[in-house]
Amino acid sequence: MDVQVLIAGAGPTGLTLAIDLVRRGVTVRIVDKAATHFVGSRGKGLQPRTQEVLFDLGVLDDVLAAGRPYPLLRVHTAEGATDRSMGEPGEAGEAEPWMLGQGELEAILRAKLAEHGVRVELGTELTDFTQDAGGVTAVVDGERVRAAYLVGADGGHSFVRKHLGVGFVGQPVEAVRMIIADVTSRGLDRDRWHIWPQAQPAMIGMCPLPGGEDRFQLMAGIVEDAPELTEATLRALLHERTGRTDITLTDPTWTSVYRANMRMVDSYQVGRVLLAGDAAHVHPPTGGQGLNTGVQDAYNLGWKLAAVLTGAPEELLETYEEERLPIAAGVLSLSSALLTKHARGEEDSMRRGKETQQLNLSYRGRSLAKGEHGGDRVPDLPTSSGSLFELLRGPHFTLLALGKTHPDLPVPTHALPELREHYGCDYVLVRPDGYVGVSTNNPQDLSTYLYTL
């Protein structure tokens, strides 16, 4: 075996998975067909649940330092400009959505991966693979690589998905086509995300980006073919749609025409090949869910792959699809409901409810969830030792002993009787990805759970 896991695609999903695997001692190669690293702002909203994942991986401080909170929305209409909040305030102790360009997030993830001694292999396209009972034989940039598992984190046009013949059910959303561009602009308040919803022939928005001064992400709906995207055409578009010639626009560093799609796979796994992120589900940008869902796919998959590679039953991997496929279906329906509001021009169409923050997603009722709280996300509850997340941090299961006894299990154990009232039981075994595996009063349930994984 050349490597234990070969990851095709070094976007946010592939990078998250690579970090999560290498910190567990799994050998990884991560290849990307692109010749250079991605630099655009693209998926720029990091939901609170994703920030929890980034904390565990050791990159949250860098992400917070490089990014900024979501600005208020300033809606410009013929009647004037009004300011609105995009979201609801979080509970005490919960993070707010954070804004950071996708290219910058990827750079931070790559730096963390490099600390673990792994670098993304650019210009290295996966062009073929076959699998057998013992592993996968892949061809990357003409080189034959033998791996125990292959993960296709290769984006919406996934070669891996197509080569597997996995169904990708859904349809393009013809109504939603947008120009997106990173530009330098002066003349607009940088504390506001400006939007002209009634602009003709379609909306236009300018969102201030963190990082370089005066950087904005321009987003503009298109109803016909997109013009050639140059500085001059983008400036003309901005001036025509806003009626504001005092706003400057120069230096477009990244431009893209985005066609919204709404599709998901009918299977996340075929034997030793797994799909994650946009390779498994694509949806409209409404609600800012795409990148976040991919990061959490990776976080669900990482510990399971590592466990199977060190002797856990292969059936554990089946729980990846069991847990993540319903989440993808939910995200598709959430982003399409928001899209419908957009299309109808509803007042609150840019407003994002708590459900977009992904903190309430749960694996309740799935086969790895045992006991009353099984499958629930563990929040950062205050403890006598400080933040619970500090205690959970790392690639291991964690036992929270809330009663009087502490069974001897091969996992970090913390006596936290102050959390007994919250959980109403003596033991909570927390999975490496921060969800309750089992909540119980019977210590036997804990060892049964751990030793059958």
Peptide bond preceding 201 in cis form (omega within 30 of 0) = yes
Write the DSSP assignment of 137-187 as a string of letters.
Answer: EEEETTEEEEEEEEEE---TT-HHHHHHT--EEEEEEEEEEEEEEEEE--S
CB of 297 to ligand FAD, least distance (A): 8
Three-state DSSP class for residue 205: strand
Give the residue, chosen from 205, 288, 371, 374, that forms a contact with ligand FAD under the rule CB under 6 A. 288
- Distance from C-alpha of 27 to C-alpha of 18, rounded to nearest angstrom: 9
155 binds ligand FAD (CB under 6 A): yes
CB of 208 to ligand FAD, least distance (A): 14
Of the ranges 21-29, 35-43, 88-96, 354-362, which one interacts with ligand FAD (CB under 6 A)? 35-43
Of the ranges 10-18, 69-77, 84-92, 310-318, which one interacts with ligand FAD (CB under 6 A)? 10-18
42 binds ligand FAD (CB under 6 A): yes
Parallel, antiparallel or unpaired: strands 143-152 and 215-221: unpaired
118 binds ligand FAD (CB under 6 A): no
Of the ranges 11-19, 224-232, 266-274, 423-431, which one interacts with ligand FAD (CB under 6 A)? 11-19
> Do 306 and 395 contact (CB within 8 A), yes or no?
yes
Of the ranges 26-34, 337-345, 362-370, 432-440, which one interacts with ligand FAD (CB under 6 A)? 26-34
Cβ-based neighbours of 130, under 8 Å, separated by 6 or more: 136, 137
375 binds ligand FAD (CB under 6 A): no
159 binds ligand FAD (CB under 6 A): yes
Whose Cβ is closer to ligand FAD: residue 21's or residue 291's? 291
For the stretch 222-231, contacts whose Cβ atoms lie closer than 8 Å and that sit 24 or more positions apart, written own/partner, are 222/177, 222/178, 222/179, 222/257, 223/177, 226/177, 226/179, 226/257, 229/179, 229/181, 229/255, 229/257
Q: How many residues bind ligand FAD (CB under 6 A)?
A: 35
12 binds ligand FAD (CB under 6 A): yes
Six-digit token pair at 342?
């957009």
Whose Cβ is closer to ligand FAD: residue 147's or residue 180's? 180
- Distance from C-alpha of 249 to C-alpha of 218, rounded to nearest angstrom: 10
Give the residue, chosen from 18, 28, 43, 148, that forms a contact with ligand FAD under the rule CB under 6 A. 43
Give the residue, chosen from 277, 375, 434, 443, that forms a contact with ligand FAD under the rule CB under 6 A. 277
- Distance from C-alpha of 20 to C-alpha of 302, rounded to nearest angstrom: 6
Of the ranges 236-244, 281-289, 403-411, 436-444, which one interacts with ligand FAD (CB under 6 A)? 281-289
> Locate tokens 């506001």: which residue?
192
Region for 213 from its dihedrals, namely left if φ exceeds 0, alpha if ψ lies in -120 to 50, beta otherwise: beta
Question: Which residues of this protein are in contact with ligand FAD, per CB under 6 A?
Answer: 8-14, 31-34, 38, 42-45, 102, 125-126, 153-155, 159, 180, 256, 258, 277-278, 285, 288-292, 294
